[in-house]
Amino acid sequence: MNGIGLLSAIVSAVSWGTFFVPVRKVNVVNVWQLQGATGIGVLLFAIPVGFFWGFDIIPGGLFSGIIWTVGNILALYSVRLIGLSRTSPFLAGFSILVSFTWGILFFNEKFNYMILAIAAIGLLLAGLPFVSNAAKSPLIQKKGYLFAAASGLIGGSYVIPMQATHSLQSGFFSSSLSIFAIGIPLLLLSRRFIKKEMAAGILSGSLFNVGSLAVLMAISLIGITIAYPISQTATLFAVSWGILYFREIVHRNNILKVITGAGMILCGAVLLAIA
């Protein structure tokens, strides 16, 4: 196993597990405004990277940016409804399932132990009910988890256009530019330019792109079936922020359920890397 590839995937996990924290801090008042500010942060980080990876405008990168933007908007709505600690595991589980499917069926990536890989996916999915059972009410559960699941299904495919066109590195700036270009009209339509919310969105976008840069490097070195699931252990960090810092879940039994679910998802990702 490539050590640099694994390290890159871990860096991605830390960054993605933290990038919702700034927007959660300001309570996600207006999703369109935050998406616009996030786009600014994404582009600001991409510009210096572009001096090394290039500023090429590549269709695969542009399409990846569109996919991610749709997924992120859904995730922001989910965070607003059910909180960070519940959104992240649900989103991660579906993202891992989608990326695993792409890797096996489209990119013909192989495992040394396919049975172990299938067991790992089963463990990932088995952790989801533990998270969802801790919901506060049926209404929140239906809306919030629907958004989180949709975000995971869509967001799990966001690197596919770049990988399919062999532009994981050269498409980085294009994807960032696409996210920025979509976000600015949303920001203008929101008519909200509150400084703290703008700053939170920009910081969130920068954190996301740190993780995006790292995961693209990891995918190029160890493949999407391993790199992307490891990156989705970001849920461990997100759940920790949600429970320990934001106090989203206070009852002990519900905390244990969410931790158990997140732990199962994490173990599944680790097993997938071993397979």
Looking at residue 45, what is its pLDDT?
96
Q: Is pLDDT of 143 > 60?
A: yes
Q: Where on the phi/psi map is residue 155: left (φ > 0), alpha (ψ -120 to 50), or beta?
A: alpha
Number of H helices, E strands in the chain: 14, 0
Chain centroid, CA 108 distance in Å: 23
**pTM of the entire structure?**
0.83
Q: What is the pLDDT of residues 130-141, one digit of tens each?
A: 766 655 556 666
Q: Is pLDDT of 1 > 60?
A: no
Q: Could you list the residue range(s) of the whole structural domain that residue 47 is in?
A: 3-274
Q: What is the pLDDT of residues 81-123, one digit of tens each?
A: 888 777 887 787 788 788 878 888 888 877 777 788 888 878 8
Q: What is the pLDDT of residues 215-271, one digit of tens each?
A: 989 988 888 778 877 887 787 788 888 888 888 777 888 888 878 887 887 788 778
Q: Is pLDDT of 274 > 80?
A: no
Q: In whole numbers, what is the pLDDT of the chain averaged over residues?
A: 85
Total structural domains in the chain?
A: 1
